[in-house]
A and B are shown apart, each in its own frame.
Chain A
Amino acid sequence: MALDTLETLAAPPLPATTRRRHLLDVDDWTPDELHALLMDAAHMRGVLAQSERLDTLRGRVLVNLFYENSTRTRVSFELAGKRLGADVTNVTASGSSVEKGESLRDTVRTLQALGAQIVVVRHSRAGAADLIAREIAGAVVNAGDGWHAHPTQALLDAFTLERHLGSVAGRRVVILGDILHSRVARSNVWALTALGAEVVLCGPPTLLPLAAVEMYTSRAVPGTGTPRRVAVEPRVERALAGADAVMVLRLQRERQQAGLLPSPREYTARYGLSPEHLRLARPGAVVLHPGPMNEGVEIDAAVAHGAASLIEEQVTNGVAVRMAVLALLAAGRMVESES
């Protein structure tokens, strides 16, 4: 069933999936779980389109604990929580006891003592969400930890792609840019390969993680045991040939100072997604970017705002996907508590 038809349905047709307490990453998600979540998200998109509010999380306390700056992810979680009826509080590192040197462990224990039942965390250190999940009784949603994982971004990217391509199974998705430092790339590989896509990681050799193909291919898709299809290709022309989708990553300027890149100029010429580069992909190929963009660096403005771009829709879909995630963690499938 196509995802856009689901937006008009009252309830998703799939049976309830296994309950999960936390969303730390999507590396251990089965294709069935992913499909069910995407269907829930489609339903949530319908809820949003009709400006409805659900009471799935009524009386629950959701804390957005953000140690890194973020606009879209934080607001997206805030809106998702509120749409589901939760009491939402935002905590940022600046202006909190974190600035007085409080440890992450003590901070989350304090939030728990204040009644937090769902903690959404963004942190610069890989493993921060895992650490919190070991400390508290409630649910933890990883909103990005270091270079490790950004599972809701991967889910919203998968949702956006499925909505436009019908299915990502058998499709070629290129992730282009600074793969080494990207949690978005890492989580997307798990989600997209589990859904049957072939993922090609493309970027300058200095920004590609070591042994990525070996690592991903040695970890089969849970539930089905299917091997994941992942390739690494530093030559952009080869990577883009035949691509159905291109996901462009943000380039941080400090990579030049770290000696990883000669200059943004050379990067843009070789790896920036220009209209010419995009023409190497399949006709009708779509373009994603997790934001925030450096237009003119990793992506040409004409591409970012062109017909192939789904970048704004990603943001809209983000709210629906996060509603589905929060509902899943708090109440199993959202329909259970609704009916």
Chain B
Amino acid sequence: MSETFLLRGARILDPAQGYDAHGDLLIRDGRIYALGPDLAPTADAAVVTLPASWVLTPGFVDLHAHLREPGFEAKETIQSGAAAAARGGFTTICCMPNTQPVTDSAATIAYVRDRAKDAPARVRPIAAISKGEAGKELAEMAELAEAGAVAFSDDGRPVSSSRLMRSALAYAAPLGLPIVEHCQDEDLVGAGVMHEGAIATLLGLPGWPAAGEDVMLARDLALVRLTGAKYHAAHLSTAGAVALVRQAKREGLPVSAEVTPHHLLLTDAWVAGERSGPLADALAALGIAVPPGARYDTATKVNPPLRTTDDCAALLEGLRDGTIDAIATDHAPHTTVDKACEYADAAFGISGFETALASLLALVHAGRLELPTLVAALTVRPARAWNLDAGTLAPGAAADLTIFDPDEPWTVEPGRFASRGKNTPLAGLTLRGRVRQTWLGGRRVYDVGGEYPSF
């Protein structure tokens, strides 16, 4: 088998190098060898000709995913999650530690890395901030860093204690790894299951206010000022949070932030089956029908919750002006049983890998987001935020690639997901833009036309 490939003909878009042109890419021994117009094929190169309408980018980097293993293998395994990632064009995925046991020990980090050895994506574990994510005592952060953790987070269980958060930031600073916060004041959020506002009033569901996020983020930023440590705000969902991060960056604080596709695109009205917001608008502009959904569709239940059109607009503005560094999926697979119940009792989360790109491309098609910005937010920006060795097609880099047709329409059929989590509010919708191929270390791990192992 040839270890040299020449990929010709597609639009190559690598924001890390400011490269955006039709051209050729030469891969040798799993690494990028050369990039440019009309490269001469070497004698040993297998030539792969791609349509000019397709786009070739660095493999996507996801700073926030739940792979559920160990402990919740009915929801997802590292293999099935990585396969789903590959189908979505993600080649580097950072997995959250809310497993069972919690990823708070070097042994569990080693377990995750071992299970991910032959996976079709690079799996980079995030370790817990506190032992058991209990918010009481720090986990052995130095040892976790040595074992290969890329960041620390008690995701899903915000660090309520200001004292412990200060300690975590201070302790992590010399390790050079970010503290990742799920910004949420649990006391203010209470029993909330969706955004507090008109739709929660309509449906009689307990709401949680946008202020629940803003309060926590404001506290954390004060602690970052105190400690000077690297801090990353997970899945921003409110206009207030965007403003706080913008201000913090202006001050020069070492802060980064991410947003999910669903918080950019969907609103709380989806919980009532009323599909308003940027995705619905963009699809409508493309002439794609968005039929109304069901009331109390538990696929819309996510943490933080879907918010308002104004929040979506602020998040998009934050993404475009660089306030928000990265788009992260917060891929959160669940079983059918976890979701086929009363709304208040359903699990939080959306299975996000396999619809991320196509849903985001709606914003590009509608003229609301530039394609290079979108690709940067999926590649170089997350990689730089966390100093990950990924997200570029520069010669010498690992040949992790995503190749997509930005125009191909397809219908979201969760039954065909590689992910065990079929929970998506986009089921049945037609989207435009599809990942065609994903390459990992110079090897094709996904091809929409090909056969793949199912996990």
Which residues in chain A, 89-104, are within 8 Å of chain B measured between CB atoms? 103-104
| A79 at the B interface (CB under 8 A) | no
| B295 at the A interface (CB under 8 A) | yes
| B337 at the A interface (CB under 8 A) | yes
A215→B294 CA distance, assembly (Å) = 19
Kindly supply a per-residue 1/0 record for chain B positions 339-355, scoring 1 wherever the CB is within 8 Å of any chain A CB and 0 otherwise.
Answer: 01111110000000000
A105→B198 CA distance, assembly (Å) = 28
Kindly supply a per-residue 1/0 record for chain A positions 119-147, scoring 1 wherever the CB is within 8 Å of any chain B CB and 0 otherwise.
Answer: 00001011110110010000000000111
Neighbouring B residues of A128 by C-beta, 8 Å:
342
Stretch at the interface among A55-63, A206-214, A238-246: A206-214
Contact A130 B295 (CB under 8 A): yes
Stretch at the interface among B75-83, B117-125, B199-207: B199-207
Kindly supply a per-residue 1/0 record for chain A positions 241-280, scoring 1 wherever the CB is within 8 Å of any chain B CB and 0 otherwise.
Answer: 0000000000000000000000000000000000000000
B208 to chain A, nearest CB (A): 11
Which residues in chain B, 329-382, are within 8 Å of chain A measured between CB atoms? 337, 340-345
Given contacts A127-B295, A214-B198, contact A105 B341 (CB under 8 A): yes
B207 to chain A, nearest CB (A): 7
User: Of all chain B residues, which has the CB nearest A105?
Assistant: B340
Given contacts A145-B204, A148-B204, contact A125 B345 (CB under 8 A): yes
Contact A126 B201 (CB under 8 A): no
Contact A126 B341 (CB under 8 A): no
| B296 at the A interface (CB under 8 A) | yes
| B196 at the A interface (CB under 8 A) | yes
- Which single member of A103, A130, A149, A210 contacts B201 (CB below 8 Å)? A210
| A333 at the B interface (CB under 8 A) | no
Contact B341 A147 (CB under 8 A): no
| A43 at the B interface (CB under 8 A) | no
Neighbouring A residues of B198 by C-beta, 8 Å:
210-212, 214-215, 218
Neighbouring A residues of B212 by C-beta, 8 Å:
none
Given contacts A127-B296, A130-B294, A134-B294, contact A211 B343 (CB under 8 A): no
Contact A126 B196 (CB under 8 A): no
Given contacts A103-B340, A125-B343, A127-B342, contact A148 B203 (CB under 8 A): yes
- Please tell me the number of chain A residues within 8 Å of chain B, measured between CB atoms: 25
A218→B269 CA distance, assembly (Å) = 13
A183→B204 CA distance, assembly (Å) = 7
Contact A210 B196 (CB under 8 A): yes
Contact A211 B204 (CB under 8 A): no
Contact A211 B203 (CB under 8 A): no
Kindly supply a per-residue 1/0 record for chain A positions 154-171, scoring 1 wherever the CB is within 8 Å of any chain B CB and 0 otherwise.
Answer: 000000000000000000
Contact A211 B295 (CB under 8 A): no
Neighbouring B residues of A127 by C-beta, 8 Å:
203, 205, 295-296, 342-344
Neighbouring B residues of A103 by C-beta, 8 Å:
337, 340-341
Chain A CB within 10 Å, residue with most, of B204, B294, B296, B341: B204
| B322 at the A interface (CB under 8 A) | no
* 14 A-B residue pairings within 8 Å (CB atoms): A105-B340, A125-B344, A125-B345, A126-B343, A126-B344, A127-B295, A127-B342, A127-B344, A131-B341, A147-B204, A148-B205, A186-B204, A210-B200, A212-B198
B residues in contact (CB < 8 Å) with A: 196-207, 294-296, 337, 340-345
